[in-house]
Amino acid sequence: MDRALPRYHGCVCGRYVLTVTGRVLARLFDLDEVPDVEARYNIAPTQPVPIIRTGTIGRRLDTVRWGLVPPWAKDPTIGSRMINARAETAAEKPSFRSAFRRRRCLVPANGFYEWRREETRKQPYLVRFADGRPFAFAGLWESWRQPDGTALESCVIVTTEPNSVVARLHDRMPAILPPESHGEWLDAAEGSPERLRTLLVPYPPEEMEAYRVSLRVNNPANDDALCAKPAAAR
């Protein structure tokens, strides 16, 4: 089965889940309008994903490509290798430092997948809050000018050290921002890397869980509720 896994599979947060309604997102993230979103159970890199960012009159939900394409890139294929940015170095890395200072976003989700080697295969797990509630990854977004002059907007998910729930699966985890940190992360006036890095810490594990799911997740073409359904132990 491992040979069938995409090459970005080894990254932390290489797949995630967003299955809540637009009304729930509008309430949680204080959006000016209720967005139209569809349930997604196996979101993969290079696919269009919703992000939340601050516009001229308030917060809005926009759709961008997952996999950041820096402004200096020669072509957009580089984005398939830039799906995660490390919290410790994003402010200095040429690919991310401009976005870290000026173009931060929230990436809504209500679960993410990680894999663990078990016997002869990599077993996927879904990590989420035990009550299933949605949350936000810290993200960065960027705009790349395409040959036809139009803009390609893309994003990356910021990662940090794992909490005790994720540590048994991976040595990194997405940086999950609690609601009280959303405003500061989105605030364009806050550009201090030192201050922003204090927000990018492992989320406390007490309310989180991880459970085995089907190998269907290994194929990004599978995007249905069966992907997130608990699987029987081997």
What per-residue confidence (pLDDT) applies to 190?
77
Using one digit for the tens of pLDDT, what is the confidence trace for 99-115? 999 999 999 999 999 99
Q: Write down the pTM of the prediction.
A: 0.93
In percent, how much of the chain has pLDDT > 90? 85
Residue 8's pLDDT band (boundaries 50, 70, 90)? very low
Q: Of these residues, 13, 105, 155, 227, which one is catalytic?
A: 13
Contacts of 145 (CB under 8 A, 6+ apart): 71, 151, 152
Enumerate domains of the chain plus CATH numbers.
2-228 (3.90.1680.10)
Contacts of 49 (CB under 8 A, 6+ apart): 43, 63, 64, 65, 66, 107, 155
Average pLDDT over residues 15-33: 96
What per-residue confidence (pLDDT) applies to 233?
63
What per-residue confidence (pLDDT) applies to 180?
96
What per-residue confidence (pLDDT) applies to 159?
98
CA distance 82 to 153: 13
What per-residue confidence (pLDDT) applies to 188?
84
Alpha helices for the chain (secondary structure H): 22-29, 97-102, 164-167, 179-186, 193-197
Q: Of these residues, 11, 105, 114, 227, which one is catalytic?
A: 114
User: Of residues 3 and 193, which shows the higher confidence score?
Assistant: 193
Residue 83's pLDDT band (boundaries 50, 70, 90)? very high
Using one digit for the tens of pLDDT, what is the confidence trace for 159-169? 999 999 999 99
Closest CA to 122 of 47, 220, 213: 213
Active site residue 227: no
Contacts of 221 (CB under 8 A, 6+ apart): none
Which neighbouring-strand residues pair with 136?
108, 177
- Examine the pLDDT at 133 and tell me if it is beyond 70: yes
Q: Tokens 């200072």, residue?
A: 101
Active site residue 13: yes
